[in-house]
Amino acid sequence: MNYENIYIEEENAIATILINRPKKLNALNKRTIEELHVAFKELDADEKIKVIVITGTGEKAFVAGADISEFADFSVKDGGRLAAEGQSILFDFVENLSTPVIAAINGFALGGGLELAMSCHFRLASSNAKMGLPEVSLGVIPGYGGTQRLPQLIGKGRAMELIMTAGMIDADKALAYGLVNHVVPQEELLPLSLKIASRISNNSSVAIKYAINAVNAGFKYDENGYATEIDAFGKCFGTNDFKEGTTAFLDKRKADFPGS
């Protein structure tokens, strides 16, 4: 796929996806969502890539929301399809990706932008970042998983207030709420994201894949997270990564995981 709205940088087993629609504050339109799906799918299949970082170009916005002009005249059926397809090909897809995904929130993350960040495995923010779900001010609700992931991350009461007021919170409040893990000045955001990504890349990608699946299972109504953990824990014992990790530990050397 020829990318129009994103570009990808790869270095030291880490891929960085940059959403590049600066004139639209990196807003998500249909094309961008499709490009992101393809990018995540291809990077996940690339055994050389151990971690993915996603951010926006410029210093104003990670993603300032969905491109409202694309769906302002949609019918009920169109709206339902929009949410279902978006969740399937991007937001749920990213959440369940076996490759770890870090969101580096470098400015506004509103509506679909915050929903994209919340679908990532964890988030960092620059000190100028602002986050919120303003959909009710447009007569609609968050449709890309926001009503589900935000309460999971910050609690029901805080999520209800943020959604119902259509307000924004700054990076420090997002940190206090547990919505982001770290807040740093703009110029330190990507270096810190890459530093954490590098630490992750040194560990077993197979074990990390199982860990992502087990953690996610605990937040799904139709799955038993403990049972998923037990099953995944057992499967780890049959991997080459487990053999290498335990052997390296006993030999008092750094593990060189084969990734299988």
Torsion sign over Cα 142, 98, 219, 161: negative
Q: Which of 11, 95, 135, 229 is catalytic?
A: 135
Q: Distance between CA 245 and CA 153 in Å, rounded?
A: 32
Cα separation, 12 vs 193, whole angstroms: 13
Catalytic site includes residue 47: no
Nearest to 26 by CA among 75, 67, 54: 67
CA 148 to centroid of chain Cα atoms: 14
First to last CA, the chain: 28
Return d(Cα 15, Cα 109) in angstroms, integer. 21
Contact between 38 and 1 (Cβ < 8 Å):
yes
Single-letter residue type at 67: D
| 9 tagged catalytic | no
Options 10, 35, 95, 115, the catalytic residue: 115
Residues with active-site annotation: 115, 135
